[in-house]
A and B are shown apart, each in its own frame.
Chain A
């Protein structure tokens, strides 16, 4: 009951329920993992099924793949029952149906053999024509029957009698009920089936061995479809969840007595209980898992990248925390750390209660922009996109050092007379200026200025300049790298303004075709202005000559410049797939081309600066050296490009995981093993990728000391010297490496909580690396003498100086 498992892409992630930390993932499937089910015979094992046609059995505590069963068809859900040992039930698509709308339930006998990979051939169909929704199938008491529903029909199949009973409901009645089944749960001890329905009703079916005298009782609390139902292991309660994001606990047998746990976040998709009934777990549509105690108290939240209905804002990087910023919870901006793949926090922009109901028109954050220092954040929230009366608010947020978060500075309710299309901050360090363009044909420049009326030292934002051009509609605006120029495009025309004097310098025009996207080049290419048009044209102007440098015919859906290099990435959507081109504005040839990257249109992308630049010699991946490109597909999948060395590293770490079980991992061993590992690391500096988490060394030891139970710690004298020595080493390391110093100071800036988290991950990483150390150290010595310690310290010092010399010489 200490672990929560959830499927995530092609792996199964294991989380701890106590600390909510990601422990490890079970990787091995080659396609989407579609279902997991605990092995009833061994509670430490879990089955997973995938669309790649295999069922894998895992030891989820250690993350070991035990067996692979090859079924051969794409699998869509998996169920196991206590009674049927060695049999799993799977959803597969009907062969006859090409649209994948028809599914059948098959029982697969898993052959018992010692081999790793077994082909399971014994398939027997239990039922055809079942619902594609996996929650519409459930096993009844002791696996005696299976209940599955499809549309308006509930079927109960008894294994012993081999008989199916069917019950159907009317599609609708006079009161407008929608009776389609959405989910099913069976009582563990009684013969009672709970079904959830599209209109929010929950029916409890009994007596279902009679085709006529069956009976059901109806409960109605949810106002929308019930997404999930789950009985507690003892059967005393029934849990249900839906779009309202309220977990409802119905007391079984006590009519309408119920408890609520509201405001859990996104709509509830799944509920499951631990086998002792102590913990409940809900998964939400916004990529979140909530761990709930049986006393109906939330005790943990596991949050991934918050998935809203749509990402309306651009992908942005918070210059301070280097976190990815985009739409999160409704009305919020989320800050997501890409380094650690962890959700940091949500910033409430709208500051209104969100109502979880479909079809309501509520405020949404549609635009957001950071200034270059990360000190200012501008947001636009909008309501009434569908109706005619549009409401929107421009808000400016200042970063507060004290509270380490953004604080609302200025709210501008009528910034423009029509909706704001785009906005950007000036890129110079000295003055911060915000430019907004709107559908009313104007662009406005906003500046921070002290308000004369209020005698406070706080300064608020006010409009400085209103510009327009022939009453055309502006769409995009962009500042040049040094903020000396502002480019605003008015349909076909690009106008260049000087922000100092607000003088129209020049206009650039390349008809036909309305300009869709524009950006300035960076660094050495800052004299170039690149624009894309709706007529499939990518143009590059030289601003010194005000002439078109080059243009090429390519349909570009997104243009993204890299702030740390000259590179510009262009996503082109043609004939139902997206191609990526990376080029420098100075030359019309692409540096890198990736054809047929994905089948969806890409509208959001961002370059994320790396913490330390890679030095990749590979021609094709050099553009990724300074920053990484992330992009978001329409399915809300965040994808990135990685280099070959990174892949190698990931692969090797996962391999190491597998052979992990031969060594007993005690905290004591961890403590001592780390020193060996560090030693090892320093001896092999040619493998720089391995020490990815660059952490101040001392604090690891301290937290480990604090977290390890006292009775397993070595003697205090040993610890003391180790502590001192580790502190010494980290200091020297920091002093000598300026780059690392910057990082460590950055990390210290992070909140305490985050630091804790990173320590945890560090531990996980350590356990992997100590195995590598195993090869060099023959036997594990429980204690180290002071002489040995000193020796270690010496080696370390010398090594470090040598390595930093190497790094310095590298560029």
Chain B
């Protein structure tokens, strides 16, 4: 499932892997996306800047952008055959593009209309297309390019009479029914043979912004600007007879603001909107077996670490789409249950990105001397000079050519090397020093029998002793490289779920991996096998409450005091896993987890919540409605 955000970024979620956010393609300034369309395995987007963009999902970046020359594009739709792409433009034209092997090519315009095309939907046969416009819906014949029907949508009553009715969304079913959602709050069903209205449902007092129909066309969801999702089902009114009707059934209220996009994916309804969260509401009647994977899921935060920490100097780097912030942690005195804050945290640096591209990844070195970030096109390395209160940075010029762009960045523990994950699943090793930086080598996985290119790396972890580095890519592969030989050391057996966080234990040099389905593994690098502890955990199984959590773990850390403590955190909690406990006490099911909040680490979560709350404050007020009438 692909999701486009207002800042132009496109995220790809894996529906069967607990909606893990596999890929993030950062956006650009001034690039609002209005529509997304899959054509086969290819993803296209169109936006108000008038361009159609195809994405390279392997390397997680935009492949190319073609201008449609029709003004801002409001809608994009690909046909089911995968041959054509239609875009609806501000100038009133529906433009057809032919999808070629490696690009798309303009074919022709359909009959030009007077008002802008707001929504588009292909008939599943690919011979007709329905377009929603201001105050009306048009049906075009693809062969001739002429309009077949023109159906007028009613304006609202009263004061909204003067406002034109925007047909925000349209769905064309294979039986010839056209379903539209408009700004009057109606979901209307039309017959494309006669061009007449069959039925209309008043869903809301405000706009119906999005519609989506299920694969087998028996369920339809509509998202409204009140923040509710309404489900319609195609059910027979008299049981065991075939005269079916669309009946409004369920209502889902999970959003506080406008819902801009909905998708009915048969087992669930996915909705996203202005409140920046993505809600996956399972449809229990379609799910064979209820499990943790089929629970209601709200995705607020990216499944990526956007904060990096310089442990030795107490600096934290926060990554925003357009800038970086460097903070120095506060200090506290004494030990005990309540700590007094001696020095408040302070913001040291606000680094704006050059150019229009947004930041893809960033890192701060453990010594706190180096800051690196990468956009889709450039990589920049800065050196931080910090003497008391004077902070200055200098950009390191003359970077090696391999460091043109990175999908993930990581410093070695002694800050002497920078690891930069690049295309083809390879990791570049660059040594950095006062004098400058020097390319050392490239770590490549054993290609083996694989012929297709490797996917982009989204996680990197370096060992404390500087011997090993581990990388995880979106194919769920974890490669471990020996830094001394600069060769691939081994590959962890591929697990079915994506790796969400990993770390190398400083003492035992075991890779600790967390997966999207909340399973945890520990793999010994030296012995090239899973550790006993990991096998025990897998044999005994994890506790139900642990498995049913709905956010993936984002970080793996190891307690310096107690080597058997592994510290994990996700969006909502920090937890410490005591590896020694499992070995000693043979608890059957209840996997002993000690949940503990650590004051220092808590800051991670605060920051995420802070960002989220800031975002909420920036939002316009949701539509006001009276809860209780008098």
Where the two chains meet, the residues of A that have a C-beta atom closer than 8 Å to any C-beta of B are 141, 189-192, 206-210, 212-218, 253-257
Whether B237 pairs with A190 at a CB distance below 8 angstroms is: yes
Interface stretch (choices B162-170, B246-254, B323-331, B420-428): B246-254
A192 CA / B233 CA spacing, docked (Å): 14
Whether A212 pairs with B285 at a CB distance below 8 angstroms is: yes
Residue B239 at the A interface, CB < 8 A?
Answer: yes
For B249, give its contact among A189, A206, A256 (CB under 8 Å). Answer: A206
Which residues of B have CB within 8 Å of A191? Answer: 236-239
Whether A207 pairs with B236 at a CB distance below 8 angstroms is: yes
Chain B's nearest CB lies how many Å from the CB of A252? 10
Which residues of B have CB within 8 Å of A256? Answer: 202
A141, A189, A207, A214 pick with most chain B CB within 10 angstroms:
A207
Whether A217 pairs with B285 at a CB distance below 8 angstroms is: no
A207 CA / B236 CA spacing, docked (Å): 7
Do A217 and B235 contact each other (CB < 8 Å), given the known contacts A254-B202, A256-B202? Answer: no
A217 CA / B228 CA spacing, docked (Å): 14
For B235, give its contact among A189, A207, A255 (CB under 8 Å). Answer: A207
Residue B398 at the A interface, CB < 8 A?
Answer: no
Which residues of A have CB within 8 Å of B240? Answer: 209
B198-212 at interface with A (beta carbon < 8 Å): 201-203
For A257, give its contact among B202, B235, B237, B250 (CB under 8 Å). Answer: B202
For A255, give its contact among B203, B233, B239, B250 (CB under 8 Å). Answer: B203
Contacts A206-B247, A208-B239, A257-B202 aside, 9 further interface pairs with beta carbons under 8 A come to: A189-B238, A190-B237, A212-B286, A213-B286, A215-B249, A217-B249, A253-B247, A255-B201, A256-B202
Task: Tell me the nearest residue of chain A to B250, going by C-beta.
Answer: A217
A322 CA / B250 CA spacing, docked (Å): 58
Whether A217 pairs with B247 at a CB distance below 8 angstroms is: yes
Do A217 and B251 contact each other (CB < 8 Å), given the known contacts A254-B201, A256-B202, A257-B202? Answer: yes
For B285, give its contact among A141, A209, A213, A218 (CB under 8 Å). Answer: A213
Which residues of A have CB within 8 Å of B251? Answer: 217-218
Which residues of A have CB within 8 Å of B249? Answer: 206, 215-217
A164 CA / B418 CA spacing, docked (Å): 68
Per-residue interface assignment for chain B, residues 7 to 50, with 1 indicating a CB less than 8 Å from any chain A CB and 0 otherwise: 00000000000000000000000000000000000000000000
A212 CA / B289 CA spacing, docked (Å): 11
B528-576 at interface with A (beta carbon < 8 Å): none
For B248, give its contact among A189, A210, A213, A217 (CB under 8 Å). Answer: A217
Task: Tell me the nearest residue of chain A to B245, going by C-beta.
Answer: A253
Do A218 and B238 contact each other (CB < 8 Å), given the known contacts A212-B285, A254-B201, A255-B202? Answer: no
Task: Tell me the nearest residue of chain A to B251, going by C-beta.
Answer: A218
Per-residue interface assignment for chain B, residues 225 to 267, with 1 indicating a CB less than 8 Å from any chain A CB and 0 otherwise: 0000000010111111000000111110000000000000000
9 pairs from A and B in contact (CB 8 Å cutoff): A141-B238, A190-B237, A191-B236, A206-B249, A212-B286, A215-B250, A217-B247, A253-B247, A255-B201
Count B interface residues, CB 8 Å.
17
B568-617 at interface with A (beta carbon < 8 Å): none
A213 CA / B218 CA spacing, docked (Å): 11
A741 CA / B575 CA spacing, docked (Å): 95
Which residues of B have CB within 8 Å of A210? Answer: 285
Chain A's nearest CB lies how many Å from the CB of B416? 51
B203, B236, B237, B240 pick with most chain A CB within 10 angstroms:
B237
Chain B's nearest CB lies how many Å from the CB of A512? 56
Where the two chains meet, the residues of B that have a C-beta atom closer than 8 Å to any C-beta of A are 201-203, 233, 235-240, 247-251, 285-286
Which residues of A have CB within 8 Å of B286? Answer: 212-213
A190 CA / B202 CA spacing, docked (Å): 21
B201, B203, B239 pick with most chain A CB within 10 angstroms:
B239
Task: Tell me the nearest residue of chain A to B238, going by C-beta.
Answer: A191
Task: Tell me the nearest residue of chain B to A215, going by C-beta.
Answer: B249
Chain B's nearest CB lies how many Å from the CB of A208? 8
Which residues of A have CB within 8 Å of B236? Answer: 191, 207
A484 CA / B237 CA spacing, docked (Å): 80
Whether A215 pairs with B235 at a CB distance below 8 angstroms is: yes
Do A216 and B250 contact each other (CB < 8 Å), given the known contacts A191-B238, A209-B239? Answer: yes
A660 CA / B235 CA spacing, docked (Å): 54
A218 CA / B236 CA spacing, docked (Å): 18
For B237, give its contact among A192, A214, A254, A255 (CB under 8 Å). Answer: A192
A8 CA / B233 CA spacing, docked (Å): 45
| Shortest Cβ-Cβ A-B pairs, 8 listed | A217-B249, A190-B237, A191-B239, A215-B249, A213-B285, A207-B235, A206-B235, A212-B285
Chain A's nearest CB lies how many Å from the CB of B474? 34
Chain A's nearest CB lies how many Å from the CB of B205? 10
A208, A210, A213, A257 pick with most chain B CB within 10 angstroms:
A213
A257 CA / B247 CA spacing, docked (Å): 14
Task: Tell me the nearest residue of chain A to B628, going by C-beta.
Answer: A223
A215 CA / B237 CA spacing, docked (Å): 12
Which residues of A have CB within 8 Å of B248? Answer: 217, 255
Which residues of B have CB within 8 Å of A212? Answer: 285-286
A253 CA / B249 CA spacing, docked (Å): 10
Which residues of B have CB within 8 Å of A208? Answer: 239
A210 CA / B218 CA spacing, docked (Å): 15
Task: Tell me the nearest residue of chain B to A158, going by C-beta.
Answer: B239
Whether A190 pairs with B238 at a CB distance below 8 angstroms is: yes
Chain A's nearest CB lies how many Å from the CB of B550? 14
Which residues of B have CB within 8 Å of A215? Answer: 233, 235, 247, 249-250, 285
Do A214 and B247 contact each other (CB < 8 Å), given the known contacts A191-B237, A206-B235, A254-B201? Answer: no
Which residues of B have CB within 8 Å of A254? Answer: 201-202
Which residues of A have CB within 8 Å of B235? Answer: 206-207, 215
Which residues of B have CB within 8 Å of A213? Answer: 285-286
Which residues of A have CB within 8 Å of B239? Answer: 191, 207-209
Which residues of B have CB within 8 Å of A218? Answer: 250-251
Whether A214 pairs with B250 at a CB distance below 8 angstroms is: no
Chain A's nearest CB lies how many Å from the CB of B197? 14
Task: Tell me the nearest residue of chain B to A141, going by C-beta.
Answer: B238
Chain B's nearest CB lies how many Å from the CB of A234? 14
A254 CA / B199 CA spacing, docked (Å): 10
Chain A's nearest CB lies how many Å from the CB of B224? 12
A554 CA / B448 CA spacing, docked (Å): 105
A253 CA / B235 CA spacing, docked (Å): 13
Chain A's nearest CB lies how many Å from the CB of B182? 15
Which residues of A have CB within 8 Å of B201? Answer: 254-255
A190 CA / B237 CA spacing, docked (Å): 5
Which residues of A have CB within 8 Å of B203? Answer: 255
A190 CA / B236 CA spacing, docked (Å): 9
Which residues of A have CB within 8 Å of B285? Answer: 210, 212-215
A209 CA / B285 CA spacing, docked (Å): 13
Chain B's nearest CB lies how many Å from the CB of A569? 50
A255 CA / B188 CA spacing, docked (Å): 13
A253 CA / B245 CA spacing, docked (Å): 10
Which residues of A have CB within 8 Å of B247? Answer: 206, 215, 217, 253
A253 CA / B201 CA spacing, docked (Å): 8
A106 CA / B285 CA spacing, docked (Å): 32
A393 CA / B410 CA spacing, docked (Å): 80
Chain A's nearest CB lies how many Å from the CB of B266? 12
A393 CA / B239 CA spacing, docked (Å): 61
Chain B's nearest CB lies how many Å from the CB of A477? 44
A463 CA / B247 CA spacing, docked (Å): 69
A532 CA / B240 CA spacing, docked (Å): 73
A94 CA / B323 CA spacing, docked (Å): 74
Which residues of B have CB within 8 Å of A216? Answer: 249-250
Chain A's nearest CB lies how many Å from the CB of B622? 18
Which residues of B have CB within 8 Å of A189? Answer: 237-238
Which residues of A have CB within 8 Å of B250? Answer: 215-218
Chain A's nearest CB lies how many Å from the CB of B44? 34
Task: Tell me the nearest residue of chain B to A260, going by C-beta.
Answer: B629
A256 CA / B202 CA spacing, docked (Å): 8
Task: Tell me the nearest residue of chain A to B200, going by C-beta.
Answer: A254
Which residues of B have CB within 8 Å of A257? Answer: 202
Task: Tell me the nearest residue of chain A to B240, going by C-beta.
Answer: A209
Chain A's nearest CB lies how many Å from the CB of B181? 14
